[in-house]
Amino acid sequence: MSTTTEETNTAGRVSAGDPEALVALAERVAGWARSGEEMEVYVARGTETEVRAYEGEVESLTSATSAGIGIRVIVDHRLGFAWAGSLDESVLGETLAEARDNAIFATADEHVQLAVPDGVAAVPIDLWDDLLESVPTTRKIELALALEAQARGADPRIRQVSSADYGDVAAESALVSTTGIRSSTRKTSGYLSVGVIAGEGDASQTGGGFSVGRGFDGLDPERATTDAVSRAVRLLGAVKGPSGRSTIVFDRRMATTLLSIVSSALSGEAVAKGRSIFAGRVGEQVGHPGLTLVDDPTDPRAYGAAAYDSEGLACRRNALIEGGVLRGFLYDTVSGSRSGVASTGSAVRGGYAGTPGPGCRALTLAPGPEGYDEDGVLAAVGEGLFVQSMTGVHSGVNPISGDFSVGAEGLMIRDGKLAEPVREITVASTLQRMLLSLVAVGADVEWLPGIAAGQTLAIGDMQISGV
């Protein structure tokens, strides 16, 4: 291996909480565009801390900063992209050169274009907690240790606390393009996450819980622990459940997962490329009349709330399904152009190493008129299965065909109440049928990590495979 000499490293010295410095860097790189070239420069920087506690001690403490750049270049309708996990001065030029070289080989496509400011004003959302930076590491360690201790002592049936983590992230990004885009974002978040193992005799069951927030204050070990412990303990004694048709009540966390799956079919790109079950069905009844689905990243309570999308356009509220009727899709600039519509401000990207594409940030279902909480939904359903965890979502759900089959754990619902626990079963249907078979939507909205709200959902006519 070669050796490294001292390099200049000035561009990366951008102080935390100062996105204007990142914007200036992005502007400088975008200024290198040649005539006939459109360019978009995305720069991001973050710091993170993670503390993992185990048996009364710190198992690991991670502290890190990272930064990177992603550059898109369009020449003659051909797109090239390159990224680097560094903001070193030497890296910036290399990355741009690679992006230019990549553009030479792409297929010319009139729809390939960068976002242009569309006059929609961004809804200001403050996602930055100034206090986070001043919290000393020792307090973060204390919180992780307290979480672990609390979980261990919460119930005599808790045999093991398999993980107890504190984590926080402060992330900033800036986006500048030759087409007039200039935006910056900054966001902090903090979380507590705990995993426990409950045991009775030979049987063991697991449960997880968490507490999330914009910073350090407000993180609640009690909440995370109670959730984890009750999930594990109530599954003790679970046996393989019976096969048959049933109404399934998905708890709030599972509902978040379900909506995320549906969201992939609402992407304007999937529609334009014939990979969506909803393609060509705008104006048709695709769901139960009680199904109204909206993506609204301007709701500051949403975990995925954002002022700007990943192309620098203002995020906005988009109605997708109303009263079961499909109203539209989410578009970024390219997929919008392909479909002859404007971007809906719905570009998302996986950090500096990814390119933008349309996606949801804050999906939510309109609650049913009854205003049910979880108990209300259970009572309304009467008999069925309550699912508190699913496995194999990536291996058993095909969002293109709509086939849906997942492993599940939960409790039977008898007389409108949670009854005996079951495990090692699957629940199956198709996404198309599930949307039409909606039985109830809870008003118990909780914003959990992810792109969709958590709210208790009941779906009828699903197949359980078990004994």
Partner 1 sequence: MIETPVLERVLSEALRNGGEFAEIFAEDKVNSSAMLDDGRVEELSSGRDRGAGIRVVSGETTGFAHTADLTERGLMRAAEAASAVARSGGGGTRTVTSGALTGSASSSMEGRATPTTGSKADALELLQRADEAARASGAGISQVQAGFGTSTRRVLIANSEGLLAGDEAARTRFSVSCVALGDTGMQTGYETAARTLGFELFDEVSVEELARTAAAQALAKLAARPAPSGELPVVLAGGSGGILFHEACGHGLEADHIVKNASVYTGKVGQQVASTLVTLVDDGTIGSEWGTFGVDDEGRPAQRNVLIQDGILTDYLWDYLRARKEGRLSSGNGRRQSYRDLPMVRMTNTFLLPGTDDADEIVAQTQRGVYVAKLGGGQVNTTTGDFVFGTTMAYLIEDGVITEPLRDANLIGNGPEILQRIDAVATDFSMTPGTCGKDGQSVPVGCGQATMRLSGVTIGGTAE
Site residues for partner 1, 137-156, by CB under 8 A, read 137
Q: What is the closest distance, in whole angstroms, from the C-beta atom of residue 107 to partner 1 in the complex?
A: 4
- Told to check if 15 binds partner 1 by CB under 8 A, we report no
Stretch that binds partner 1, among 242-250, 254-262, 309-317, 411-419 (CB under 8 A): 242-250
Question: Looking at beta carbons only, is 174 or 406 nearer to partner 1?
Answer: 406
Q: Among candidates 93, 64, 65, 96, which has minimal Cα distance to 80?
A: 96
Question: Looking at beta carbons only, is 3 or 15 nearer to partner 1?
Answer: 3
Q: Report the sign of the C-alpha dihedral through residues 417, 423, 424, 430, in that order.
A: positive
Interacting positions 274-333 with partner 1 (CB under 8 A): 274-275, 277
What contacts 270, CB < 8 A, 6 or more positions away? 264, 276, 279, 400
* CA distances (Å), origin 181, targets 36, 39, 125, 176, 198: 17, 10, 19, 5, 53
Stretch that binds partner 1, among 34-42, 74-82, 247-255, 374-382 (CB under 8 A): 74-82
Q: What is the closest distance, in whole angstroms, from the C-beta atom of residue 393 to partner 1 in the complex?
A: 8
- Told to check if 405 binds partner 1 by CB under 8 A, we report yes
Interacting positions 350-379 with partner 1 (CB under 8 A): 353, 355
Interacting positions 436-455 with partner 1 (CB under 8 A): none
Q: How far is CA 5 from the centre of its chain?
A: 40
Contact, 235 vs 389, CB < 8 A?
Answer: no
Stretch that binds partner 1, among 65-73, 176-184, 317-325, 377-385 (CB under 8 A): 65-73
Question: Burial, 313: exposed, middle or buried (Cβ in 10 Å; 0-12, 13-18, 19+)?
Answer: buried
Stretch that binds partner 1, among 115-123, 310-318, 404-412, 413-421 (CB under 8 A): 404-412
Q: What is the closest distance, in whole angstroms, from the C-beta atom of residue 319 to partner 1 in the complex?
A: 25
Question: Looking at beta carbons only, is 123 or 270 nearer to partner 1?
Answer: 270
- Told to check if 252 binds partner 1 by CB under 8 A, we report no
Among 117, 402, 416, 449, binds partner 1 (CB under 8 A): 402
Q: What is the closest distance, in whole angstroms, from the C-beta atom of residue 312 to partner 1 in the complex?
A: 19
Q: What is the closest distance, in whole angstroms, from the C-beta atom of residue 211 to partner 1 in the complex?
A: 18
Lookup: tokens for 162: 């398999």
Contact, 268 vs 235, CB < 8 A?
Answer: no
- Told to check if 385 binds partner 1 by CB under 8 A, we report no
Among 282, 383, 391, 420, binds partner 1 (CB under 8 A): 391
- Told to check if 3 binds partner 1 by CB under 8 A, we report yes
Contact, 363 vs 294, CB < 8 A?
Answer: yes
- Rounded to whole angstroms, how far apart are CA atoms 99 and 101? 5
For 292-436, where are the alpha helices, taking DSSP H only? 333-339, 374-381, 393-396, 431-436
Contact, 345 vs 336, CB < 8 A?
Answer: no
E-strand stretches of 314-437: 318-322, 325-326, 347-348, 357-358, 363-365, 384-391, 403-414, 417-430
Question: Looking at beta carbons only, is 13 or 34 nearer to partner 1?
Answer: 13
Q: What is the closest distance, in whole angstroms, from the C-beta atom of residue 99 to partner 1 in the complex?
A: 7
- Rounded to whole angstroms, how far apart are CA atoms 221 and 144? 8
Q: Among candidates 108, 116, 45, 46, which has minimal Cα distance to 80?
A: 108
Q: Which amino acid is at 466?
A: G
Question: Looking at beta carbons only, is 24 or 428 nearer to partner 1?
Answer: 428
Interacting positions 193-232 with partner 1 (CB under 8 A): 197, 204-206
Among 370, 401, 417, 420, binds partner 1 (CB under 8 A): 401
Contact, 409 vs 238, CB < 8 A?
Answer: yes
Q: What is the closest distance, in whole angstroms, from the C-beta atom of residue 328 to partner 1 in the complex?
A: 20
Lookup: tokens for 67: 């930064």
Interacting positions 79-138 with partner 1 (CB under 8 A): 79-86, 88, 91, 94-95, 98-99, 101-107, 109, 112, 137
Among 426, 437, 455, 456, binds partner 1 (CB under 8 A): 426
